[in-house]
């Protein structure tokens, strides 16, 4: 019996996920020692990312054929915007975060990629590119929860992404992407795999930019 798309891809990108687990941003988020300025940078960029991620999901909904698929993708879009926006607002208030308008390099590259693929390519490729955000955040949340230090200032973030509600949505996104992958063969299936892997790499660079407080060189 052949592997599901998600099973094959999760195995293939395990080295990337391990690099994310072992990135200093994630390790310091886990033990609560992450510098506030790095978390603030991350939240500012994530807020910008979230808007475009939601737009990309809405584009997938617009290109879907069945009412069920349209509804599912709109639910993904609304859920991502409302749940994570609530988390952002809490931290923006707590840390007196100032809203920024400029995307830094990793955020700009990632959102441009997602919007481009959602606008110009198939629903199949689009969902393969969008899935890593759900999957990696849920995996990182659960990974951190197992070893997070007590009284962690970032506990709300950990609880959100390790929680049952987010995991439920993640599993729905995985199932939907697996369903789409079953409809593909040959080149389209390979394009789905490439899209998934590229987004996983983008996730790593997003964490990396935040830890290094990366800005434009010119």
pLDDT at 102 over 90: yes
CA distances from 45 to 66, 71, 122, 213 (A): 34, 28, 27, 11
Domains of the chain and CATH, by start: 5-212 (1.20.910.10)
- Overall average pLDDT of the 171-198 stretch: 96
Only one residue has tokens 């952002």, namely: 88
Distance CA 23, CA 186 (A): 35
133: annotated active-site residue: yes
Specify the pLDDT at position 106.
Answer: 99
- Overall average pLDDT of the 29-44 stretch: 96
Distance CA 140, CA 136 (A): 6
Catalytic residue chosen out of the listed positions 84, 125, 139, 203: 203
Please name the residues in contact with 44: beta carbons below 8 A apart, sequence gap of 6 or more.
97, 98, 99, 100
The pTM of this model reads: 0.95
Catalytic residue chosen out of the listed positions 30, 107, 125, 133: 133
- Overall average pLDDT of the 17-38 stretch: 97
């Amino acid at each position: 019996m052949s592997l599901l798309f998600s099973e094959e891809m999760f195995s293939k990108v395990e080295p990337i996920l391990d690099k994310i687990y072992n990135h200093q941003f994630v390790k310091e988020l886990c033990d609560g020692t992450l510098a506030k300025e790095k978390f603030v940078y991350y939240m500012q960029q994530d807020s910008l990312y979230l808007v475009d991620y939601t737009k990309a999901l809405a584009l997938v909904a617009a290109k879907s054929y069945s009412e069920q698929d349209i509804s599912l993708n709109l639910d993904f879009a609304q859920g991502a915007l409302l749940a994570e926006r609530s988390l952002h607002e809490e931290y923006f208030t707590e840390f007196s975060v100032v809203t920024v308008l400029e995307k830094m390099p990793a955020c700009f590259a990632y959102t441009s990629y997602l919007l481009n693929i959602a606008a110009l390519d198939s629903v199949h490729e689009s969902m393969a590119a969008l899935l890593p955000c759900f999957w990696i955040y849920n995996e990182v949340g659960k990974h951190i929860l197992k070893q997070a230090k007590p009284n962690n200032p970032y506990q709300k973030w950990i609880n959100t992404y390790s929680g049952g509600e987010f995991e439920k949505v993640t599993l729905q996104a995985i199932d939907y992407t697996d369903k789409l992958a079953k409809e593909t063969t040959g080149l389209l299936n390979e394009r789905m795999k490439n899209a998934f892997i590229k987004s996983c790499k983008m996730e790593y660079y997003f964490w990396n930019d935040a830890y290094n407080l990366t800005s434009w060189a010119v």
